[in-house]
Amino acid sequence: MIDTSFVIAAYNEEETLEKTLLAIRANKEFKQSEIIVVDDGSKDQTKAAAEKYADKVISYSTNKGKGYAMQLGWRSAQGEYIVCLDADLEESASEAFALLEPIRQNKADMTISIINPGKKSGMGMVKRRVQTIVYQKTGVKLEAPLSGQRAFRRKWLSVLLSKSYFGFGIETQMTIDLLEAGATCLEIPTTMKHREMGRDVKGFIHRLKQWVDIEKQLRGVQS
């Protein structure tokens, strides 16, 4: 019997994915868990890295975006608890189990990891925009509505799989959808770390794409 399903969408993450998966498996609480990796059309060896340590690997040749990949992973999940993680957490992924305890104790329906920003983080414009949107739509103030590290009970899959998510808009929209459906949310400070895009041109382009995806998602405009 599978208790917990870890779902990871990965795109060109051959350098980080293996360490992330190993960290999850090394945690003593991993028993009765499964890892599902969705290789979102990677051009590198992400699929090969996933096949070493994931219990299930879903792969396709064309990049379709994080939203599509995560929903595909959710549909394959067998666990009572679903944990969503980014592929680039590396060793810090072991702390993902901290997201489960409040749900098991019925203190929340969904938990979200608060990750402290590093020196290369952006200026927070996208985050503040999403915080405002979530509050306006649900009346709930969240510190980390963009965090990809989150967990929820299986029963909420009926809500999440009835929607259409795409790109980087998935975290914003799934947060709103679950809160509007009556789910309670608890944010948990963790020391998990993932790659920061920096404040150079590459980082700006990434955040711009993230912003565009979020705005399209909120307007129901599929890419």
pLDDT band, residue 199 (cuts 50/70/90): low
pTM recorded for the entire structure? 0.88
Q: Are the beta carbons of 12 and 49 closer than 8 angstroms? A: no
Q: Which residue has the tokens 């963009």?
A: 146
Q: Which residue range(s) make up the domain with 180?
A: 4-219
CA pair distance 10, 37, nearest whole angstrom? 7
- Show the tokens assigned to 125: 């414009």
CATH number of the domain that residue 58 is part of: 3.90.550.10
Rounded mean pLDDT, 45-56: 98
What phi and psi, each to the nearest 5 degrees, are found at residue 102? -60, -30
pLDDT score of 153: 97
CA pair distance 67, 168, nearest whole angstrom? 7
Share of the chain above pLDDT 70, in %: 85
Is the pLDDT at 222 greater than 60? The verdict is: no
pLDDT band, residue 223 (cuts 50/70/90): very low
Detail the DSSP E strand segments found in 28-161.
33-40, 56-60, 81-86, 110-115, 150-153
CA pair distance 21, 66, nearest whole angstrom? 18
pLDDT score of 120: 52
Among the listed residues 161, 151, 175, 170, the one whose alpha carbon sits nearest the alpha carbon of residue 80: 151
Is the pLDDT at 62 greater than 60? The verdict is: yes
CA pair distance 201, 158, nearest whole angstrom? 39
pLDDT band, residue 167 (cuts 50/70/90): confident
CA pair distance 173, 154, nearest whole angstrom? 18
Instruction: Please give the tally of structural domains in the chain.
Output: 1
